[in-house]
Amino acid sequence: MLKSDKKPKVTIYHLAQELGLAPSSVSKALNDLPSISQRIKDMVSSKARELNYVHNSSAANLRRGSSRTIGVVVPKLDTTFFSDVVSGIEEVCSKHKYNVIICQSEERLQREIEAVENLISQNVDCIIISLSVQTSTVEHLQRIRDLGVNLIQFDRVNEDVKSHYNLTDNKDAAYNAVRHLISNGYSNIALLGGPNHLANYRDRKTGYLQAMEEAELSVPYNYVTEEVLSLERSMDVASNLLNSKNPPDAFFAVSDYAALGAMKAAESLGLKVPDQLGIVGFSNEEFTSLITPSITSIDQNSKQLGAEAARTYFDEIVGKPVTDNYSTSFTRSSLIVRSSSTRTVHAPHDVMTTVI
Protein backbone atom coordinates (compact mmCIF):
# COMPACT_ATOMS: atom_id res chain seq x y z
CA MET A 1 0.00 0.00 0.00
CA LEU A 2 1.29 3.43 -0.93
CA LYS A 3 1.98 5.78 1.90
CA SER A 4 0.20 9.12 1.91
CA ASP A 5 2.38 12.22 1.60
CA LYS A 6 -0.28 14.25 3.38
CA LYS A 7 1.14 15.91 6.49
CA PRO A 8 -0.78 15.67 9.76
CA LYS A 9 -2.97 18.69 10.44
CA VAL A 10 -1.48 21.22 12.83
CA THR A 11 -3.73 21.84 15.85
CA ILE A 12 -3.91 24.29 18.71
CA TYR A 13 -2.12 21.68 20.85
CA HIS A 14 0.87 21.71 18.48
CA LEU A 15 1.06 25.49 18.73
CA ALA A 16 0.79 25.36 22.50
CA GLN A 17 3.58 22.79 22.74
CA GLU A 18 5.86 24.82 20.45
CA LEU A 19 5.26 28.04 22.39
CA GLY A 20 5.14 26.58 25.88
CA LEU A 21 1.65 27.97 26.43
CA ALA A 22 -1.59 26.46 27.64
CA PRO A 23 -3.92 25.42 24.77
CA SER A 24 -6.62 27.67 26.24
CA SER A 25 -4.29 30.68 25.98
CA VAL A 26 -3.52 29.86 22.34
CA SER A 27 -7.24 29.57 21.60
CA LYS A 28 -7.96 32.94 23.20
CA ALA A 29 -5.11 34.55 21.24
CA LEU A 30 -6.37 33.14 17.95
CA ASN A 31 -9.85 34.45 18.72
CA ASP A 32 -8.43 37.90 19.57
CA LEU A 33 -9.92 37.96 23.06
CA PRO A 34 -9.04 41.00 25.22
CA SER A 35 -7.84 38.86 28.14
CA ILE A 36 -4.69 37.99 26.17
CA SER A 37 -1.87 40.51 25.71
CA GLN A 38 -0.93 41.73 22.25
CA ARG A 39 2.57 40.26 22.71
CA ILE A 40 1.13 36.76 23.15
CA LYS A 41 -1.26 37.27 20.23
CA ASP A 42 1.65 38.24 17.98
CA MET A 43 3.67 35.21 19.14
CA VAL A 44 0.79 32.84 18.41
CA SER A 45 0.06 34.45 15.04
CA SER A 46 3.70 34.19 13.99
CA LYS A 47 3.99 30.54 15.01
CA ALA A 48 0.68 29.72 13.29
CA ARG A 49 2.01 31.12 10.00
CA GLU A 50 5.30 29.25 10.45
CA LEU A 51 3.53 25.91 10.94
CA ASN A 52 0.79 26.62 8.34
CA TYR A 53 -1.92 26.39 10.97
CA VAL A 54 -5.43 27.20 9.66
CA HIS A 55 -7.80 28.61 12.26
CA ASN A 56 -11.31 27.14 12.14
CA SER A 57 -13.18 30.40 12.50
CA SER A 58 -16.55 28.76 11.77
CA ALA A 59 -16.23 26.47 14.78
CA ALA A 60 -15.06 29.34 16.95
CA ASN A 61 -17.96 31.52 15.86
CA LEU A 62 -20.39 28.69 16.50
CA ARG A 63 -19.13 28.47 20.08
CA ARG A 64 -19.66 32.22 20.43
CA GLY A 65 -23.21 31.98 19.09
CA SER A 66 -22.30 34.33 16.23
CA SER A 67 -21.17 33.72 12.65
CA ARG A 68 -19.45 37.11 12.49
CA THR A 69 -20.90 37.38 9.00
CA ILE A 70 -23.12 40.06 7.47
CA GLY A 71 -25.29 39.32 4.44
CA VAL A 72 -25.87 42.08 1.90
CA VAL A 73 -28.55 42.07 -0.81
CA VAL A 74 -28.47 44.74 -3.50
CA PRO A 75 -30.31 45.03 -6.83
CA LYS A 76 -27.11 45.20 -8.91
CA LEU A 77 -23.38 45.57 -8.47
CA ASP A 78 -22.67 47.01 -11.92
CA THR A 79 -23.69 50.53 -10.87
CA THR A 80 -21.45 53.04 -9.17
CA PHE A 81 -24.03 53.63 -6.45
CA PHE A 82 -24.41 50.06 -5.21
CA SER A 83 -20.76 49.10 -5.69
CA ASP A 84 -19.75 52.09 -3.55
CA VAL A 85 -22.36 51.17 -0.92
CA VAL A 86 -20.92 47.65 -0.70
CA SER A 87 -17.42 49.10 -0.44
CA GLY A 88 -18.52 51.18 2.55
CA ILE A 89 -20.14 48.16 4.22
CA GLU A 90 -17.07 45.98 3.70
CA GLU A 91 -14.70 48.64 5.02
CA VAL A 92 -16.56 48.92 8.32
CA CYS A 93 -17.09 45.16 8.68
CA SER A 94 -13.40 44.51 8.03
CA LYS A 95 -12.45 46.78 10.93
CA HIS A 96 -14.67 44.66 13.18
CA LYS A 97 -13.26 41.42 11.69
CA TYR A 98 -16.60 40.43 10.19
CA ASN A 99 -17.05 38.68 6.87
CA VAL A 100 -19.49 39.89 4.21
CA ILE A 101 -21.57 37.78 1.80
CA ILE A 102 -22.92 39.79 -1.14
CA CYS A 103 -25.98 38.78 -3.19
CA GLN A 104 -27.64 40.47 -6.17
CA SER A 105 -31.38 40.39 -6.80
CA GLU A 106 -30.96 41.59 -10.41
CA GLU A 107 -34.06 43.73 -9.76
CA ARG A 108 -36.23 40.59 -9.45
CA LEU A 109 -38.35 39.73 -6.43
CA GLN A 110 -37.83 35.96 -6.75
CA ARG A 111 -34.04 36.37 -6.84
CA GLU A 112 -34.28 38.60 -3.78
CA ILE A 113 -36.31 35.98 -1.89
CA GLU A 114 -33.79 33.29 -2.85
CA ALA A 115 -30.89 35.49 -1.71
CA VAL A 116 -32.54 36.06 1.66
CA GLU A 117 -33.13 32.32 2.13
CA ASN A 118 -29.53 31.58 1.18
CA LEU A 119 -28.19 34.07 3.71
CA ILE A 120 -30.48 32.74 6.44
CA SER A 121 -29.24 29.19 5.74
CA GLN A 122 -25.66 30.44 6.18
CA ASN A 123 -26.50 31.75 9.66
CA VAL A 124 -25.58 35.36 9.01
CA ASP A 125 -25.89 37.68 12.00
CA CYS A 126 -27.57 40.45 10.03
CA ILE A 127 -29.00 41.13 6.57
CA ILE A 128 -28.50 44.58 5.06
CA ILE A 129 -30.81 44.99 2.08
CA SER A 130 -31.90 47.44 -0.60
CA LEU A 131 -35.05 46.23 -2.32
CA SER A 132 -35.57 45.38 -5.99
CA VAL A 133 -37.96 47.43 -8.12
CA GLN A 134 -40.33 44.45 -8.12
CA THR A 135 -40.52 44.19 -4.34
CA SER A 136 -43.95 45.24 -3.12
CA THR A 137 -44.54 42.29 -0.76
CA VAL A 138 -42.95 41.90 2.66
CA GLU A 139 -43.27 38.22 3.59
CA HIS A 140 -39.58 37.43 3.04
CA LEU A 141 -38.53 40.50 5.02
CA GLN A 142 -40.85 39.60 7.87
CA ARG A 143 -39.42 36.07 7.84
CA ILE A 144 -35.97 37.52 8.53
CA ARG A 145 -37.31 39.18 11.67
CA ASP A 146 -39.40 36.16 12.72
CA LEU A 147 -36.27 33.99 12.66
CA GLY A 148 -34.44 36.42 14.92
CA VAL A 149 -32.00 37.59 12.25
CA ASN A 150 -31.17 41.28 12.45
CA LEU A 151 -32.46 43.39 9.55
CA ILE A 152 -31.27 46.75 8.23
CA GLN A 153 -32.87 48.35 5.17
CA PHE A 154 -31.14 51.07 3.16
CA ASP A 155 -32.01 53.35 0.22
CA ARG A 156 -34.96 51.35 -1.16
CA VAL A 157 -36.98 50.30 1.87
CA ASN A 158 -40.43 49.02 2.75
CA GLU A 159 -41.76 50.92 5.71
CA ASP A 160 -44.33 48.21 6.47
CA VAL A 161 -41.51 46.09 7.91
CA LYS A 162 -40.03 47.54 11.06
CA SER A 163 -36.25 47.66 11.03
CA HIS A 164 -33.36 50.05 11.17
CA TYR A 165 -33.33 52.35 8.11
CA ASN A 166 -30.39 54.10 6.44
CA LEU A 167 -31.68 56.58 3.89
CA THR A 168 -30.71 59.39 1.56
CA ASP A 169 -32.39 62.77 2.05
CA ASN A 170 -34.44 62.07 -1.09
CA LYS A 171 -37.11 64.74 -0.71
CA ASP A 172 -34.65 67.58 -0.04
CA ALA A 173 -32.29 66.37 -2.76
CA ALA A 174 -35.06 66.33 -5.37
CA TYR A 175 -36.39 69.70 -4.20
CA ASN A 176 -32.99 71.34 -4.58
CA ALA A 177 -32.38 69.73 -7.96
CA VAL A 178 -35.65 71.13 -9.35
CA ARG A 179 -34.95 74.53 -7.77
CA HIS A 180 -31.62 74.47 -9.60
CA LEU A 181 -33.40 73.88 -12.92
CA ILE A 182 -35.84 76.70 -12.20
CA SER A 183 -32.98 79.08 -11.35
CA ASN A 184 -31.50 78.36 -14.77
CA GLY A 185 -34.65 79.46 -16.54
CA TYR A 186 -36.47 76.17 -17.05
CA SER A 187 -40.18 76.18 -16.25
CA ASN A 188 -41.84 73.22 -17.99
CA ILE A 189 -40.13 70.51 -15.95
CA ALA A 190 -41.24 66.89 -16.25
CA LEU A 191 -40.52 64.07 -13.79
CA LEU A 192 -39.07 60.77 -14.94
CA GLY A 193 -40.11 58.92 -11.78
CA GLY A 194 -39.69 55.50 -10.23
CA PRO A 195 -42.06 52.84 -8.87
CA ASN A 196 -44.45 54.44 -6.41
CA HIS A 197 -44.44 51.49 -4.00
CA LEU A 198 -40.85 52.29 -2.96
CA ALA A 199 -40.47 55.13 -0.46
CA ASN A 200 -37.32 56.69 -1.93
CA TYR A 201 -39.02 57.33 -5.28
CA ARG A 202 -42.15 58.67 -3.59
CA ASP A 203 -39.97 61.10 -1.64
CA ARG A 204 -38.20 62.28 -4.80
CA LYS A 205 -41.58 62.86 -6.42
CA THR A 206 -42.71 64.85 -3.36
CA GLY A 207 -39.61 67.03 -3.52
CA TYR A 208 -40.19 67.70 -7.23
CA LEU A 209 -43.83 68.66 -6.68
CA GLN A 210 -42.97 70.91 -3.72
CA ALA A 211 -40.41 72.86 -5.75
CA MET A 212 -42.82 73.28 -8.67
CA GLU A 213 -45.65 74.40 -6.37
CA GLU A 214 -43.50 76.95 -4.52
CA ALA A 215 -42.40 78.42 -7.88
CA GLU A 216 -46.05 78.51 -8.98
CA LEU A 217 -45.27 76.41 -12.03
CA SER A 218 -47.94 74.19 -13.54
CA VAL A 219 -47.49 70.43 -13.71
CA PRO A 220 -49.58 68.84 -16.49
CA TYR A 221 -50.76 65.35 -15.62
CA ASN A 222 -48.56 63.74 -18.27
CA TYR A 223 -45.43 65.43 -16.85
CA VAL A 224 -45.42 63.04 -13.85
CA THR A 225 -44.36 59.57 -14.95
CA GLU A 226 -43.57 56.39 -13.03
CA GLU A 227 -41.51 53.22 -13.54
CA VAL A 228 -38.93 55.16 -15.61
CA LEU A 229 -35.55 53.90 -14.38
CA SER A 230 -33.91 52.31 -17.42
CA LEU A 231 -32.34 54.00 -20.42
CA GLU A 232 -34.68 52.31 -22.89
CA ARG A 233 -37.88 53.11 -21.00
CA SER A 234 -36.74 56.70 -20.50
CA MET A 235 -36.01 57.17 -24.21
CA ASP A 236 -39.58 56.12 -25.04
CA VAL A 237 -41.23 58.25 -22.35
CA ALA A 238 -39.06 61.32 -23.00
CA SER A 239 -39.57 61.08 -26.78
CA ASN A 240 -43.35 60.94 -26.35
CA LEU A 241 -43.31 63.98 -24.06
CA LEU A 242 -40.99 65.98 -26.32
CA ASN A 243 -43.28 65.23 -29.27
CA SER A 244 -46.43 66.25 -27.38
CA LYS A 245 -48.38 69.51 -27.84
CA ASN A 246 -46.89 70.90 -24.63
CA PRO A 247 -43.32 69.56 -24.52
CA PRO A 248 -41.19 70.02 -21.39
CA ASP A 249 -38.07 72.18 -21.47
CA ALA A 250 -36.41 70.12 -18.72
CA PHE A 251 -36.42 66.68 -17.11
CA PHE A 252 -35.75 65.77 -13.50
CA ALA A 253 -34.94 62.04 -13.55
CA VAL A 254 -34.86 59.86 -10.44
CA SER A 255 -32.04 57.78 -11.94
CA ASP A 256 -29.00 58.67 -14.03
CA TYR A 257 -29.90 56.00 -16.57
CA ALA A 258 -33.25 57.72 -17.08
CA ALA A 259 -31.41 61.04 -17.45
CA LEU A 260 -29.19 59.45 -20.12
CA GLY A 261 -32.29 58.14 -21.89
CA ALA A 262 -33.76 61.66 -21.94
CA MET A 263 -30.52 62.99 -23.40
CA LYS A 264 -30.55 60.38 -26.17
CA ALA A 265 -34.21 61.20 -26.92
CA ALA A 266 -33.29 64.88 -27.23
CA GLU A 267 -30.39 64.03 -29.52
CA SER A 268 -32.62 61.96 -31.79
CA LEU A 269 -35.00 64.94 -32.12
CA GLY A 270 -32.24 67.43 -32.78
CA LEU A 271 -32.68 69.26 -29.47
CA LYS A 272 -29.60 70.80 -27.87
CA VAL A 273 -28.82 70.16 -24.20
CA PRO A 274 -28.79 72.42 -22.19
CA ASP A 275 -29.87 75.28 -24.54
CA GLN A 276 -33.21 73.75 -25.48
CA LEU A 277 -33.57 71.08 -22.81
CA GLY A 278 -32.25 70.82 -19.26
CA ILE A 279 -31.59 67.47 -17.57
CA VAL A 280 -30.79 66.47 -13.98
CA GLY A 281 -30.27 62.87 -12.85
CA PHE A 282 -29.89 61.05 -9.54
CA SER A 283 -27.00 58.96 -8.07
CA ASN A 284 -23.96 60.48 -9.81
CA GLU A 285 -23.07 57.35 -11.76
CA GLU A 286 -19.55 57.41 -13.16
CA PHE A 287 -20.66 57.94 -16.77
CA THR A 288 -22.40 61.25 -15.95
CA SER A 289 -19.08 63.09 -15.89
CA LEU A 290 -17.61 61.31 -18.92
CA ILE A 291 -20.15 62.03 -21.66
CA THR A 292 -20.76 65.27 -23.55
CA PRO A 293 -22.63 67.20 -22.40
CA SER A 294 -21.96 65.97 -18.89
CA ILE A 295 -25.04 65.32 -16.75
CA THR A 296 -25.90 67.23 -13.59
CA SER A 297 -26.71 64.68 -10.89
CA ILE A 298 -27.28 64.17 -7.19
CA ASP A 299 -24.42 62.42 -5.43
CA GLN A 300 -25.89 60.26 -2.66
CA ASN A 301 -22.49 59.82 -0.97
CA SER A 302 -23.06 56.11 -1.43
CA LYS A 303 -19.91 54.83 0.25
CA GLN A 304 -20.82 56.82 3.36
CA LEU A 305 -24.38 55.45 3.15
CA GLY A 306 -23.02 51.89 3.14
CA ALA A 307 -20.65 52.61 6.00
CA GLU A 308 -23.54 54.07 8.03
CA ALA A 309 -25.62 50.94 7.40
CA ALA A 310 -22.80 48.74 8.71
CA ARG A 311 -22.17 51.04 11.68
CA THR A 312 -25.86 50.76 12.53
CA TYR A 313 -25.29 47.05 13.15
CA PHE A 314 -22.21 47.51 15.32
CA ASP A 315 -23.48 50.60 17.18
CA GLU A 316 -27.19 49.83 17.56
CA ILE A 317 -27.44 46.03 17.63
CA VAL A 318 -24.27 44.22 18.73
CA GLY A 319 -24.20 43.75 22.49
CA LYS A 320 -27.52 45.55 22.95
CA PRO A 321 -30.72 44.01 24.33
CA VAL A 322 -33.37 43.05 21.78
CA THR A 323 -35.81 45.93 21.36
CA ASP A 324 -38.56 47.17 19.07
CA ASN A 325 -36.98 50.62 18.96
CA TYR A 326 -35.35 51.17 15.59
CA SER A 327 -33.19 53.99 14.29
CA THR A 328 -33.48 55.96 11.06
CA SER A 329 -30.43 57.81 9.76
CA PHE A 330 -30.11 60.12 6.76
CA THR A 331 -27.00 60.58 4.63
CA ARG A 332 -26.81 64.05 3.11
CA SER A 333 -26.57 64.38 -0.65
CA SER A 334 -24.73 66.81 -2.91
CA LEU A 335 -25.92 68.35 -6.17
CA ILE A 336 -23.13 68.03 -8.73
CA VAL A 337 -23.77 70.74 -11.31
CA ARG A 338 -22.56 69.99 -14.83
CA SER A 339 -23.33 71.10 -18.38
CA SER A 340 -26.75 69.48 -18.86
CA SER A 341 -28.60 71.98 -16.68
CA THR A 342 -26.72 75.27 -17.04
CA ARG A 343 -27.88 77.54 -19.83
CA THR A 344 -25.48 80.38 -19.02
CA VAL A 345 -22.48 80.96 -21.29
CA HIS A 346 -19.99 80.61 -18.47
CA ALA A 347 -21.46 77.33 -17.23
CA PRO A 348 -18.71 74.91 -16.19
CA HIS A 349 -18.37 71.59 -17.99
CA ASP A 350 -16.80 69.87 -15.03
CA VAL A 351 -17.94 69.35 -11.49
CA MET A 352 -19.14 72.05 -9.18
CA THR A 353 -20.52 70.79 -5.89
CA THR A 354 -23.44 72.32 -4.06
CA VAL A 355 -24.11 70.72 -0.67
CA ILE A 356 -27.78 70.18 -0.02
Instruction: Express each pLDDT in 131-148 by its tens digit.
Output: 999 999 999 999 999 898
> Do residues 178 and 296 share a domain?
yes
> Do residues 294 and 218 share a domain?
yes
Range 279-291 average pLDDT: 97
- pLDDT at 252 (0 to 100): 98
Query: Is it the case that residue 5 has pLDDT exceeding 70?
Result: no
> Do residues 214 and 339 share a domain?
yes
Cα 187 to Cα 176: distance, rounded to the nearest angstrom? 15
Listing from the earlier edge strand, what are the strands of the sheet with 352-355?
224-225, 189-192, 250-253, 278-282, 296-299, 334-337, 352-355
Please report, in angstroms and rounded to a whole number, the separation of the first and last CA atoms in the chain. Answer: 75
Could you tell me the pLDDT band of residue 58, with boundaries at 50, 70 and 90?
A: low
Could you tell me the pLDDT band of residue 47, with boundaries at 50, 70 and 90?
A: confident
Query: Is it the case that residue 349 has pLDDT exceeding 60?
Result: no
> Do residues 142 and 132 share a domain?
yes
Query: Is it the case that residue 7 has pLDDT exceeding 90?
Result: no
Residue 6 lies in a domain: no
Query: Is it the case that residue 50 has pLDDT exceeding 90?
Result: no
* 154 SS3 class: strand
Query: Is it the case that residue 204 has pLDDT exceeding 60?
Result: yes
Q: In the predicted model, what is the mean pLDDT of the chain?
A: 90
**Sequence-ordered list of residues with C-beta below 8 angstroms from that of 229, at least 6 positions apart, any chain:** 133, 194, 195, 254, 255, 257, 258
> Do residues 252 and 349 share a domain?
yes
Q: Pick the range with the lowest mean pLDDT from 15-19, 61-65, 247-251, 337-341.
A: 61-65
Query: Is it the case that residue 9 has pLDDT exceeding 80?
Result: no
Could you tell me the pLDDT band of residue 57, with boundaries at 50, 70 and 90?
A: low
Instruction: Name beta bridge partners: 252.
Output: 191, 280
- pLDDT at 64 (0 to 100): 52
> Do residues 233 and 294 share a domain?
yes
Residue 1 lies in a domain: no
Query: What backbone torsions phi and psi does residue 299 show, to the nearest 5 degrees?
Result: -85, 115
Cα 141 to Cα 239: distance, rounded to the nearest angstrom? 38
Query: Is it the case that residue 63 has pLDDT exceeding 70?
Result: no
Q: Is 177 exposed, middle or buried (0-12, 13-18, 19+ CB in 10 A)?
A: buried
Identify whether the C-beta of residue 126 lies closer than 8 Å to the C-beta of residue 71. yes
Q: Tell me which H or E stretch contains 86.
A: helix 80-95
Q: Provide the residue range defining the domain that includes 34.
A: 12-55
> What percentage of the chain carries pLDDT values higher than 90?
74
- pLDDT at 347 (0 to 100): 40
* 50 SS3 class: helix
Identify whether the C-beta of residue 221 lies closer than 8 Å to the C-beta of residue 246. no
Give, to the nearest 10 degrees, the angle between helix 12-19 and helix 23-30: 110
Query: Is it the case that residue 296 has pLDDT exceeding 70?
Result: yes
Radius of gyration from C-alpha coordinates of the chain? 26
Cα 142 to Cα 230: distance, rounded to the nearest angstrom? 29
Residue 123 lies in a domain: yes
Could you tell me the pLDDT band of residue 101, with boundaries at 50, 70 and 90?
A: very high
> Do residues 217 and 345 share a domain?
yes
Identify whether the C-beta of residue 147 lies closer than 8 Å to the C-beta of residue 120. yes
- pLDDT at 2 (0 to 100): 43
Residue 2 lies in a domain: no
Cα 320 to Cα 182: distance, rounded to the nearest angstrom? 48
Range 330-336 average pLDDT: 96
Range 303-328 average pLDDT: 93
**DSSP structure class, residue 316:** I
- pLDDT at 4 (0 to 100): 42
> Do residues 104 and 84 share a domain?
yes
Query: Is it the case that residue 154 has pLDDT exceeding 60?
Result: yes
- pLDDT at 251 (0 to 100): 98
Give tens-digit pLDDT for 238-267.
999 999 999 999 999 999 999 999 999 999
Residue 317 lies in a domain: yes
What one-character-per-residue DSSP string does 171-229 give? HHHHHHHHHHHHHTT--SEEEE---TTSHHHHHHHHHHHHHHHHTT----GGGEE-S--
Residue 184 lies in a domain: yes
> What's the CATH number where 93 sits?
3.40.50.2300
> Do residues 275 and 188 share a domain?
yes
Q: Pick the more confident residue, 326 or 59.
A: 326
- pLDDT at 231 (0 to 100): 96
Could you tell me the pLDDT band of residue 188, with boundaries at 50, 70 and 90?
A: very high
Tally the domains of the chain. Answer: 3
> Do residues 314 and 259 share a domain?
no
Range 221-225 average pLDDT: 97
b/e burial code for range 130-152 (CB count within 10 A of at least 16 → b): bbbbbbeeeebbeebeeeebbbb
> Do residues 292 and 320 share a domain?
no
Residue 7 lies in a domain: no
- pLDDT at 353 (0 to 100): 43
Query: Is it the case that residue 208 has pLDDT exceeding 80?
Result: yes
* 83 SS3 class: helix
Neighbouring C-alpha atoms within 13 Å toward the C-beta of 308: 20
pTM, full prediction: 0.80
Residue 60 lies in a domain: no
Q: What angle do CA 277, 278, 283 make, to 5 degrees?
A: 140
> Do residues 214 and 350 share a domain?
yes
Query: By C-alpha distance, which of 340, 12, 336 is closest to 176?
Result: 336
* 284 SS3 class: coil
Say if residue 321 is preceded by a cis peptide, omega within 30 of 0: no
Could you tell me the pLDDT band of residue 281, with boundaries at 50, 70 and 90?
A: very high
Range 64-70 average pLDDT: 79
**DSSP structure class, residue 245:** S
